[in-house]
Structure 1
Amino acid sequence: MPEKHLSEEIILETRGLTKEFKGFVAVNGVDLKVRRGDIHALIGPNGAGKTTFFNLLTKFLLPTRGTILYRGTDITHEKPAQTARRGLVRSFQISAVFPHMTVLENVRAALQRGLGTTFHFWKPESSLYGLHDRARQLLAQVGLQDFADELTVNLPYGRKRALELATTLALEPELMLLDEPTQGMGHEDVSRVTQLIKKASEGRTILMVEHNMNVVSSIADRITVLQRGTIIADGPYAEVSKNPQVIEAYMGSADTELQGAH
């Protein structure tokens, strides 16, 4: 493939990305390329540096050295809000919803954020009605249309995660970062949220940290494996899951069963 086309295909790239904490190297010289339109999973044992890497991408941490490129632009030293405005948005980090607002009001608040009117709470209620239709569309997209008037605090855990997905989609991300989207879920919720992620990926790129190998093997186009802050494998699931170094990294880990996932 010509180099020009390849560079247009890469939406996010890190070069030599490194983060040290008082002599401890959490992320060590990571070169990662995320292709536009892919669901790309970042996996690895506990302590591999996955969360630190996500925090570098979203500017909650500054790298010790290295570069982050988004659509070919160096965004390494941008502020978090600037990066989010470019379309790189993180979800499932900390519950990103207001518990004592209704499900519909939560999505509407996210739509307001997208319009840059977050703090205009003194505006007349009628001025927000235009957002109702879009909010209801987003709720339908994640299967929450019947819960629109329910207080968010009353939602079961899996439905709360679906609502977080809807509030993230309201910001119209081009690249969505999902931080352990199925963590703490029962089998039924895992299946539902996995399907929602697949649906949400239409027309956008997803980079996700995920422990559940069944989820990874069923929806990820590409997988990058981190161990002790370094990439030890990168490629399609079928290839990565047979890598001896990856199998060894996961041996004896209760988190994950690489071989058992289908």
Structure 2
Amino acid sequence: MSDLILETRALTKEFRGFVAVSNVNLQVQRGHIHALIGPNGAGKTTCFNLLTKFLAPTKGKILFNGADITGERPAQIARRGIIRSFQISAVFPNLTVLENVRIGLQRNTGTSFHFWKRESTLNVLNDRARALLDEVDLGGFADTQTVNLPYGRKRALEIATTLAMEPELMLLDEPTQGMGHEDVDRVTQLIKKVSAGRTILMVEHNMNVISSIADKITVLARGAVLAEGPYDTVSRDPAVMEAYMGTSEGALEGAHG
């Protein structure tokens, strides 16, 4: 099997003449944490939407495990093992933490819509759900109503529900957005922990997070790839520093994307 789990070739998206993503050639290596960064309006989220087929590309190809998935629908992409965790925490606030993860497990077993079954039949999923909660350090919150969780813990729960889908490739969209320093540190370590044996592609604006866990970084600017490589190389690239000017004091470390 190839070292590349995901590849795009000349991936392009135009909106009425505006080119949001332009000839992006992305190569994500299996088992790596790959970060997609860039200034506001760089095309990061549009690129994510193309990869998960919430948008259709204007041209170009998307390959997953060597197979051309360019024409597939979002549900087909998910069944292949490409699972996206959204920028806004996607959990059910009035269910318990355990019930949220159990729903993710139901989706993966194909029983999502068996509403007529007794709830007790879902208890067979509880052991796996509790194991996933332990993996994201939420074991002590299993019976907590999700609405009562602190924001950072909700993001941890979202990662657990993503893991319940048994992703081969996890797409994390701004996983630390809106968090305080303590939550950022916790979620960063959590992402590092759950990356073992998995591949993660993430959009992230916090450069401290990127520098500490990303194996490879792709920088987008105006929809095109500006630079690529490890953090130490990319952060010193003059073109990257210029692209981030104005979003911070001229330092990449303070930039938001």
1:258 aligns to 2:238 (yes or no)? no
Mapped to 2, the partners of 1:111 and 1:16 lie a distance apart of 35
Corresponding residue for residue 211 of structure 1? 205
Residue 237 of structure 1 aligns to which amino acid in structure 2? Answer: Y
Deviations 1:117-157 (A, max 9, x none): 00112212222111001100111111111111111111111
Percent identity, please.
73
Letter in 2 for 1:201: S
How many Å separate the matches in 2 of 1:30 and 1:18? Answer: 7
The equivalent residue for 2:173 is: 179
Q: Which residue of 1 aligns with 2:191?
A: 197
- Match of 1:34? 28
**Corresponding position of 1:117:** 111
Report which stretch shifted further, 92-101 or 243-252: 92-101
Q: Which residue of 1 aligns with 2:65?
A: 71
- Inter-partner Cα distance in structure 2 for 1:86 and 1:185: 31
Counterpart among 91, 100, 105 of residue 85 in structure 2: 91
TM-score (norm 2): 0.96
Question: TM-score, normalized by length of structure 1?
Answer: 0.95
Q: CA deviation at 1:256?
A: 8.7
- Is 1:225–2:219 an aligned residue pair? yes
Separation of aligned partners in 2, 1:16 and 1:50: 15
- Which stretches in structure 2 are left out of the alignment for 5+ residues? none
**Gap regions ≥5 residues in structure 1:** none
What aligned pairs does 1:121-160 form with structure 2 within 5 A after superposition? 121-160=115-154
Q: CA RMSD in A?
A: 1.4
**Residue 41 of structure 2: SS of its match in structure 1?**
coil
Amino acid at match of 2:185: S
Q: Is residue 244 from structure 1 mapped to residue 242 from structure 2 by the alignment? A: no
Structure 1 stretches of 4+ moved >6 Å: none
Q: Which amino acid aligns with 1:199?
A: K
3-state SS in 2 of match to 1:226: strand
Question: Taking structure 1 as reference, are residues 260 and 152 closer, same or farther at Cα in structure 2, changes over 3 Å only?
Answer: closer
